[in-house]
Structure formats: structure tokens, C-alpha cells
Amino acid sequence: MVDWSIPDESGVKSNEASFSGICVYAEHADGALVPSVPEVIGAARQLAEGTGLPVSAVLLGSEIGHLTGELLELGVDEVWLVDSPNLQPYAEDAEARCMSELLAELKPAIVLGSGTRRGRSIFPRVAARLDTGLCADCISLSLDKETGHLVVTRPAYGGSIVAKIVIPHQRPQMATIKEHVFRSAAKVSTPSGIVRDMSSQIRVSKTVLEILEIVRGRADPANLLQADTIVAVGRGIKKAENLPLIYEFADAIGASVGATRAAVDLGWIHPSHQIGQTGSIVKPRVYFACGISGALQHTVGMDEAETIIAVNSDPNAPIFDLATYGIVGDLLEVIPAFIETLKVE
Ligand code: FAD
């Protein structure tokens, strides 16, 4: 069995280190866990496999007790619950303070979250409060079998390299994972975990922000991560003025609109629509690639789509190697023909 305790500067392991286990941040909104939580628990369970390390989930909020059952079903050993009216409405300063106090008290060795907007905002704050580091947007996680150190990989330098980072001494070791990269935890048939209610032991202070109004906008302009069907557009659309055609088609089939980096860099479409190595990783049922060449940096973000339909005027475009169905033609003619057909039907 590996000794998971922390080596000091000279490399000598100190058993007084009381940090242990892997903990995940159970993000929730509107009374439900967000879709990335099963992925983070999946990543944690995979990491813990064969080590005997327990996996716990941090659940913070007000009147959120009903979410504990779902977390236990996802196979966590303990849910660390802090239920306080001071955490309502959600404010990142209060949440980060509360989470830091809880982690300082319960001392997990590794803390994982998702690279959602909230994860990106909370994790750096908590890491700073705990005087530790943070690896963001990781695409793989492992434990060094010899030393027990957390080893992660993540894109670096704008996605030109995939960096392997070993985190040797810090505790806790904190990382966020890129959405849609890790497999979701399977539900366990007979959950055996427990809920540890820490509400009375953790001081929960109110936010120092004055929240005047909560305005609900479209949370994600592209809404790609949960999309069942995506119509993605590339440089082949020629100019921004042709984009309404893509939106019309997407609306007609209930799809979200994605884009290549080329279309984003040209300023034709908002960066939140970008799919690929430096954009979102998507796994829809159907993916329309319209005027997209099929560069590797794009296809790594969509090659797990169940059905890929490519429209490209170049019969030798690499996207056809990946496509389930290929249409060689001008998308400015093919897409209107699709729309017309849908109208007839
Ligand atoms: P192009 O490669 O120019 O392809 C346009 C296609 O449209 C061509 O195949 C052409 O035949 C076709 N076409 C032209 N006219 C028509 C028409 N009328 N009808 C039909 N088809 C037509 N890219 C991403 O997408 N996502 C990323 O996350 C990403 N990250 C990157 C990270 C790094 C570090 C680097 C270096 C690059 C990255 N890229 C990324 C860029 C990537 O390498 C490609 O340049 C980009 O994906 C190409 O976009 P495109 O297919 O729209 O354009």
C-alpha cells in the first residue's frame, strides 16, 4: 500500500500530515446538482481506485439537504454538508470562505471541481485562502504509484502543448477538470456513504457584497455542453452576414450553434461557441459540420458525436474522414435546401 503522507522539503515523509482522501465540490443551481457533478465524482472515483482513499463531496448552500441522496447514489463515501441561510443567494465570497473553513477542518488531500464558471471563480479563491496551488482545466488525473503525488495533464500555451504537471508537496492539491472529458460516475445500487452535517461547526459569514438584483440571462449563449444536436460553422460560411442561415437551420431542428476557432477569430461569432482543443468538448447525438475543414484542433472537441454530417465544397476535406454522412457542395446552397425540405415536411 502506498504511503500517501506528505514528504517535507528534504523528501522525508511526515506522518503527522493528517490530510487524506479526495473531495469534490458539489456545485448546484436552482435546487439541482449541475450536470458536471457526476463527471467530477467519476474522476475522483477513478483516481481513488485501488488506493483505499475515500471520496467525499462538499455540499454548501441553503435548504439543500435533498441533494445528499443523489451524491450518495453517485458513490461518494461522505457528503460534507453545510446548510446555512447565509449562503443564500449564492455569492462567491461567502461560498469560498465557507468552503475554505470546511477544507481546513476536514483536511482532504485532493480537492476536485469542474471548470464551470462557478468552479473557475470559487477554486482560485479557496486555493488562495488555503495557501495552496491550483491546476485548472485538467484533461487527465492520476496518482504517482511510487510517491502518491497528484499528476495532471492540461493544455498550455494556448493549447499548443499538453503539459504534464506533478504536484509534489502542497496540501490540499486542488484541480478543476474540463467539462465533458471524464466519464460520469455510475450510480451505485446500494449507497453506503454517510452525510456529515458540519453546519453547526463551520462559521458561515454572509457575503460582503450587496446583491441588488439577480437578472437571469441566457446562462450560456451557446449552450453547447448539454446540446443533443449541434450545427457548427466554419470559415466556409464566408462572412458573418451569412450566419443567420445557420441560426435558421439550427432553430428549425432545435440545435445549438457551434463554431471553429477560425470563425471565432474572424469575429463572426462569440467565443463561447468555439468547439475544440481550446473551446468546448462536445458529445451530441448529431453534429453538422458546415464549411469546416476538420483540423485536429477542432475535431478533438467533437469526434465523439454519435453521427457527424459534414457539408464541404472540397471532396478532399479531412472532415469527410470522420463524417458518418458527407455532402460535397456549397453550404450556401445545401443548408437552404435542408431548410426548405423541413418546411415541406
Ligand atoms: P478552414 O480550415 O479554413 O476550413 C474551411 C473549410 O470550408 C474548407 O474545408 C473549405 O473547403 C470549406 N468551404 C469553403 N467554402 C465553402 C462553401 N461555400 N461551402 C462548403 N464548404 C466550404 N480550431 C478550432 O476549431 N477549435 C479550437 O479549439 C482550436 N484550437 C487551436 C489551438 C491551437 C494552439 C492552434 C494552433 C489552432 C487551433 N485551432 C482550433 C485552429 C485549427 O487549427 C484550424 O485552423 C481551424 O479549426 C480551421 O477552421 P475552419 O475549418 O473553419 O477553417
**Per-residue pLDDT, 344:** 73
Angle at 272 between CA 268 and CA 277, to 5 degrees: 100
**Per-residue pLDDT, 8:** 53
Euclidean distance between CA atoms 154 and 137, whole angstroms: 6
Average per-residue pLDDT for the chain: 90
Which residues have any ligand 1 atom within 6 Å of their CB? Answer: 158-160, 234-236, 260-263, 274-279, 291-293, 295, 297-298, 301, 311-314, 317, 330-332
**Per-residue pLDDT, 323:** 97
Torsion of CA 288, 292, 294, 298, to 10 degrees: -80
Rounded distance from Cα 116 to ligand 1 centre (Å): 26
The predicted-structure confidence for 1-32, as pLDDT tens digits, reads as follows: 344 445 555 554 443 357 889 999 999 998 99
Residues of the chain with pLDDT under 70: 1-17, 158-159, 216-222, 345
Ligand 1 atom closest to Cα of residue 279: 28
Predicted complex ipTM exceeds 0.95: yes
Rounded distance from Cα 292 to ligand 1 centre (Å): 5
Euclidean distance between CA atoms 57 and 24, whole angstroms: 5
* Residue with CA at minimum distance from ligand 1 atom 16: 236
**Per-residue pLDDT, 17:** 59
Q: How many CA atoms does the CB half-sphere of 117 hold within 13 Å?
A: 8
Euclidean distance between CA atoms 73 and 185, whole angstroms: 9
**Per-residue pLDDT, 282:** 92
Contacts of 23 (CB under 8 A, 6+ apart): 44, 55, 56, 57, 58, 80, 103, 106, 108, 110, 111, 112, 172
Query: Residues 312, 298: contact at Cβ < 8 Å?
Result: no
Between the alpha carbon of residue 341 and those of residues 245, 289, 291, 345, the distances in Å are: 14, 19, 20, 6
Residue 325: CB atoms within 10 A of its CB come to 11
Whole-structure pTM value: 0.74
